Amino acid sequence: MKIAVVGSNGQLGSELCRQLSETAVGLDLPRFDITCRDDVVERLSELQPQVIINTAAYTQVDKAEELPSLCRSVNVDGVSNLVLAASILNCTFVQISSDYVFDRDVGQRTPFKETDAANPRGVYASTKLEGEKLTGDLEKHFIVRTCGLYGRNTSAHGKNFVDTMLKLATQDIPIRVVGDQYCTPSYVPHIARAIRFLIETDAYGTYHVVNSGETTWHDFAAEIFRQADIPARLVRITTAEYAALPPRPKYSVLDTSKYCSLPNAPALPSWQEGIAEYLKLRME
């Protein structure tokens, strides 16, 4: 099997390439630009992959409000180009999506199922949902919604939340982190393992794939510092105090029971276990 991993320089894309080994063909900027339709179709037609996994996305949530056309060119037009190529090749297409397509009041803390109505807020969230709808037109497709990914760093994409927290802890300054947004940050190798499993099945459709449990960004940071045994001046703030340009979901925890019900599906460890594995990796 030949598997095209689009966005191979990113955290998830590079981890998929590691796990898939010789079956993976990594594709990323500058040589592969998903916004160029002719180039996308030509390159993938040359490769003839059995699976295309799209991990590429415009993920700068705040800047998306200022640059909606740029965000849309990647998250909508780019996906449309990949969907066209997958249709021509009659191959399986995997689109990575986001918990941001949902939002619910914290007073209704029930994890979202795949069948729940989406409620995107902001340009980034809306474009991710549009990308899902384009993907759904294909017979052989997987839409994988996930959240707060962190894993091995790639120089092209900067640091993740865990690394950022650990760096701030060395500066002896108050670390202000939002404590009223609930989600499930997830360790990249666990998510990549689940995607590898899915593409070996014909159980096409939409799946929520995150680490188990739920937390806030503040409590996530607190657990990072606890496990790393690092004293930090952590300050809990509200979403209003953070004053981000687009609204963030107050509650976007994903229900993974559909994925977990698949025979022989690899387990999705807790978000605390994800931190432990990553901290161990950083020590190696």
Which pTM was predicted?
Answer: 0.95
25-63 exposure pattern, b = at least 16 Cβ within 10 A, e = fewer:
bbbbeeebbbbebeebbebbeebebebbbbbbbbbebeb
Question: What tens digit of pLDDT does each residue of 126-147 get?
Answer: 999 999 999 999 999 999 999 9
Res. 105: pLDDT tops 90: no
pLDDT band at 247; cut points 50, 70, 90? confident
CB 239 within 8 A of CB 178: yes
Cα→Cα distances 152→44, 131, 168, 271, Å = 27, 26, 18, 16
Q: What is the pLDDT of residue 155?
A: 54
Q: How many domains is the chain built from?
A: 1
Most confidently predicted of 48-57, 152-161, 238-247: 48-57
pLDDT band at 90; cut points 50, 70, 90? very high
Question: What tens digit of pLDDT does each residue of 164-196 get?
Answer: 999 999 998 999 999 999 999 999 999 999 999
pLDDT band at 153; cut points 50, 70, 90? confident
CB atoms closer than 10 angstroms to residue 233 = 13
Mean pLDDT score of the chain: 94
Q: What is the pLDDT of residue 242?
A: 84
Q: Which domain holds residue 72?
A: 3-283
SS3 128: helix
* Residue positions annotated with a catalytic role: 124
Q: What is the pLDDT of residue 152?
A: 87
pLDDT band at 88; cut points 50, 70, 90? very high
Q: What is the CATH number of the domain that holds 144?
A: 3.40.50.720
